[in-house]
């Protein structure tokens, strides 16, 4: 496609696009001679990867629109028929959120699959993303599709695919589906959903009831008094989460939370937030204002498709603490461990999973308490599959998380679930309240037992790939290290000696002799993890530097561990300065920390 004349790309689009609105969009751009915009829209195709598709809704091969949805569904259907046994009868599960075009694209996907003779289980109405993997597992379906762009801006939408194991797809399926799409680009006649009723089933009511039954089983405090004197405010960020979170509160026996009314209803325009991401600075301002007005102690928040969660707590002085994803992950891990230990099950059969860029506090917890901890690459496609692999080895895996406020609970959904996280956090608050403690108090107790951990995560904007490559080449060739015979990595970070380097781009792990191959899969972009420590200071650092697959960013994840904040804080500050000045060489390349 990239080598064709622009006029040919325009003609191809006009010929294939079944939607007159987006067809006219391209024609009007051509008539206006807006060749620059047409190049952006038509020169490259939106990439189908391990998270499916996600992008801006408008005409063009590089965007999200009817034609892309039809072509993707045709390719996915053919691939599933070839690679999943009894795919036609096992069927597809499809759900959608509230974004513009979500319901329409869910219908197009349904029509495409039934045209291939594949049964479709439709999730009626607005659903949160975890309902799709839950339903795939419950129904033993061949695959699942969720139409959502999660916490992206309102202009975006997406197409998320789950495999027959109810986990987001990984290689080689991503490449296989992508190839199948290329072989099925011509839209085939669609079938009216109502004309083939035996291929379309609506089990939404039963599946939701089963979901909440499984959610109820997660409760670790069966005899908890729900009438603790705690007020919660909840925001669903204009998304689909409020009805699910409200019902979850009811089945756990809690008094109703106070909703942020301005953000309670599903609204694809997201009128009160530019980026509907609970992690964004200022995203919880309305929720905190509501909590202050209502005299509430805690703010709970889900992102628009309710698969992610965060929380904030007000202390006695009226100051709010917004918990990080890593802090929440450690709190949840401790909560799950406590419940598992109380059950009397053998601790050596317990395992937990976290992404490699997440905090190492669970690693410390596992070492002290005697359970297994495993890390994996970033993304729940890897967390979910790692959990399934551990189950095959005889472990029970009741929890996994990534620092980007994604948390997996129980065994029924091997994906992040913001509703499960919401009631798990509320249960933790209520349990601590009966002991006269706050969540912040409990976090300090965990630090006393497992070490004080603090993170500093951010990124550098690098719009030039050559500059990015040069930066990582510089990091790998500083001519001061004998850790590896070829590349010469740095020997110190923030005054601490580097003790281990894992380069998931070149395939090198200094701590894994004799072949020095990393246990984690290689990364498609640049990714280096470095550990440094000093036993005499009782301090350590873990740094992960990686490029983003979707944005022009060099991300860094930096965590320090020590006895207290007075040791860790200055150590982190020194390391950040060193990374920016000496490793990234911001002055030389004209970059800065975001």
Determine, yes or no, domain membership for 108: yes
In a domain, 568, yes or no: yes
pLDDT at 479: 52
Q: Which residues contact 178 (CB under 8 A, 6 or more apart)?
A: 47, 48, 49, 75
Q: CA-CA distance, 111 to 69, in Å (whole number)?
A: 11
Q: Which of 450, 475, 506 is the last residue of a domain?
A: 450
Look at residue 483 in the predicted model and tell me its pLDDT: 43
Q: Is 150 one of the annotated active-site residues of the chain?
A: yes
State the DSSP H helix or E strand holding residue 497, giving kind and residue range, or none if neither: strand 496-503
Task: State the burial class of residue 217 (Cβ atoms within 10 Å of its Cβ: 0-12, 13-18, 19+).
Answer: exposed
What domain range includes position 87?
45-211
What sections of 116-217 are H helices per DSSP? 131-139, 173-182, 204-216
Q: What are phi and psi of 549, to 5 degrees?
A: -80, -15
Gap between the Cα atoms of 188 and 195, Å rounded: 17
CA within 13 Å, CB half, 84: 27
- Answer yes or no: do 524 and 413 share one domain: no
DSSP state at residue 193: G
Has residue 228 been placed in a domain?
A: no
If asked whether residues 69 and 204 sit together in one domain, one would say: yes
pLDDT value, residue 478: 67
With 0-12 / 13-18 / 19 or more C-beta atoms within 10 angstroms meaning exposed / middle / buried, residue 212 is middle
Is 117 in the same domain as 176? yes
Nearest to 147 by CA among 202, 191, 105: 105
C-alpha separations of 528 from 12, 417, 487, 568, 592 in Å: 42, 29, 12, 22, 20
The last residue of one of the domains, among 398, 417, 450, is 450
- Overall number of domains in the chain: 3
Do 401 and 474 sit in the same domain of this protein? no
Measured CA to CA, the distance from residue 373 to residue 472 in angstroms comes to 29
pLDDT, position 504: 94
Q: Does some domain include residue 464?
A: yes
pLDDT of amino acid 308? 98
- What residues of the chain score a pLDDT lower than 50? 223, 480-485
Q: What is the largest CA-CA distance in the chain?
A: 74
Question: Do 461 and 439 belong to one domain?
Answer: no
Edge-to-edge order in the sheet of strand 309-314: 258-259, 232-235, 298-302, 309-314, 320-322
Instruction: Estimate to the nearest angstrom the gap between the alpha carbon of 513 and the chain centroid.
Output: 32
Per residue in 426-437, pLDDT (tens digit) is 999 999 998 999
* Share in percent of the chain as helix, strand, coil (round to 5): 40, 20, 40
Q: Are 58 and 41 a contacting pair, CB within 8 Å?
A: yes
Question: Could you tell me if 191 and 84 lie in one domain?
Answer: yes
- Mark whether 104 and 189 lie in a shared domain: yes
Which residue shows structure tokens 């200022």? 282
Q: Could you tell me the two tokens for 248?
A: 């979850």
- In this prediction, residue 481 carries a pLDDT of 43
pLDDT value of residue 195? 72
Report yes or no on 13 lying in a domain: no
Dihedral of the alpha carbons of 431, 437, 439, 441, in degrees to the nearest 10: -150
75 and 92: one domain? yes
The whole-model pTM stands at: 0.94
Whether residue 57 contacts residue 157, with contact meaning beta carbons closer than 8 Å, is answered with yes
Domain presence at residue 120 = yes
Q: Which runs of E-coded beta strand occur in 326-451?
A: 350-355, 372-376, 396-402, 406-409
The pLDDT value recorded for residue 450 is 96
Q: Are residues 384 and 472 in the same domain?
A: no
Q: What is the pLDDT of residue 523?
A: 85
Q: Under 8 Å CB-to-CB from 569, ≥6 apart: which residues?
A: 454, 560
Q: Is residue 319 part of a domain?
A: no
Task: Based on the fold, state whether residues 440 and 353 are members of the same structural domain.
Answer: yes
Q: For position 225, what pLDDT does the model report?
A: 56
Chain CA centroid to CA 62, Å: 22
Residues 426 and 479 in one domain: no
| Angle at 246 (CA atoms; ends 242, 252), nearest 5 degrees | 145
Pick the catalytic residue from 62, 150, 245, 462. Answer: 150
491 and 420 belong to one structural domain: no
Nearest Cα to Cα of residue 166 among 134, 121, 118, 210: 134
On whether the CB atoms of residues 501 and 483 are closer than 8 A, the answer is yes
Q: Checking DSSP bridges between strand 553-562 and strand 452-461, what pairing results, if any?
A: antiparallel
User: Where are the strands (E) in 195-272, listed by range?
Assistant: 200-201, 232-235, 258-259
Among the listed residues 351, 327, 520, 349, the one whose alpha carbon sits nearest the alpha carbon of residue 425: 327
Tell me the CATH number at 93: 3.40.120.10
Point out the domain boundary residue: 211, 243, 273: 211
In the chain, count H helices and then E strands: 20, 22
First and final C-alpha spacing in the chain: 35
What does the radius of gyration of the chain's CA atoms come to, in whole angstroms? 25
Q: What is the pLDDT of residue 551?
A: 77
Would 254 be classed as within a structural domain? no
């Amino acid at each position: 496609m990239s080598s064709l004349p622009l006029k040919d790309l325009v003609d191809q689009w006009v010929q294939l696009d079944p939607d007159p609105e987006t067809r006219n969009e391209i024609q009007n751009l051509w008539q206006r001679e807006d060749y620059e915009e047409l190049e952006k829209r038509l020169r490259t195709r939106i990439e189908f990867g391990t998270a499916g598709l996600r992008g801006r809704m408008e005409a063009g091969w590089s965007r999200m629109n009817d034609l892309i949805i039809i072509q993707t569904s045709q390719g996915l259907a053919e691939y599933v028929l070839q690679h999943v046994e009894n795919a036609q009868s096992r069927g597809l599960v499809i759900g959608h959120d509230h974004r513009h075009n979500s319901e329409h694209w869910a219908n197009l996907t349904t029509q495409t699959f039934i045209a291939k003779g594949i049964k479709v289980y439709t999730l009626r109405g607005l659903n949160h993303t975890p309902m799709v993997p839950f339903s795939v597992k419950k129904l033993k379906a061949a695959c699942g599709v969720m139409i959502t762009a999660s916490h992206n801006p309102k202009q975006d939408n997406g197409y998320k695919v789950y495999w027959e194991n109810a986990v987001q797809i990984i290689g080689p399926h991503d490449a296989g589906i992508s190839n199948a799409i290329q072989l099925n680009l011509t839209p085939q006649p669609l079938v009216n959903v109502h004309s083939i009723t035996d291929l379309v089933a609506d089990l939404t009511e039963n599946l939701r009831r089963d979901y909440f039954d499984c959610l109820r089983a997660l409760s670790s405090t069966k005899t908890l008094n729900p009438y603790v004197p705690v007020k919660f405010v909840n925001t669903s960020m204009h998304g689909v989460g409020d009805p699910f979170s409200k019902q979850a509160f009811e089945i756990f026996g809690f008094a109703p939370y106070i909703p942020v009314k301005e953000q309670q209803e599903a609204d694809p325009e997201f009128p009160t937030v530019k980026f509907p991401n609970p992690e964004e600075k200022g995203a919880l301002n309305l929720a905190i204002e509501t909590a202050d007005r209502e005299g509430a102690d805690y703010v709970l928040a889900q992102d628009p498709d309710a698969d992610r969660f965060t929380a904030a707590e007000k202390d006695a002085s009226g100051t709010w603490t917004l918990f990080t994803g890593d802090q929440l992950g450690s709190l949840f891990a401790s909560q799950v461990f406590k419940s598992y230990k109380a059950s009397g099950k053998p601790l050596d059969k317990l395992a937990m999973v976290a992404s490699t860029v997440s905090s190492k506090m669970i690693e410390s917890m596992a070492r002290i308490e005697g359970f297994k901890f495993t890390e994996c690459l970033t993304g729940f496609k890897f967390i979910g599959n790692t959990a399934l692999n551990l189950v095959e080895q005889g472990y029970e895996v009741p929890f996994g998380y990534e620092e980007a406020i994604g948390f997996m609970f129980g065994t029924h959904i091997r994906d992040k679930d913001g509703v499960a996280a919401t009631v798990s956090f509320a249960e933790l608050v209520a349990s601590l309240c009966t002991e006269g403690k706050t969540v912040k108090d409990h976090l300090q107790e965990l630090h006393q037992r497992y070490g004080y951990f603090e993170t500093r995560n951010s990124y550098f904007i690098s719009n030039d790939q050559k500059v990015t490559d040069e930066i990582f080449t510089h990091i790998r060739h500083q001519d001061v290290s004998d850790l590896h015979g070829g590349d010469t990595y740095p020997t110190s970070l923030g005054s601490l000696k580097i003790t281990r380097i894992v380069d998931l781009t070149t395939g090198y792990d200094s701590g894994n002799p004799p072949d020095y191959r990393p246990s984690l899969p290689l990364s498609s972009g640049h990714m280096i993890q470095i550990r440094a420590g000093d036993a005499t200071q009782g301090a350590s650092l873990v740094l992960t530097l990686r490029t983003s697959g979707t944005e022009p960013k060099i991300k860094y994840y930096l965590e320090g561990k020590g006895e207290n904040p007075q040791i860790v804080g200055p150590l982190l500050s020194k390391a950040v300065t060193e990374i920016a000045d000496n490793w990234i060489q911001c002055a030389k390349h004209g970059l800065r920390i975001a």
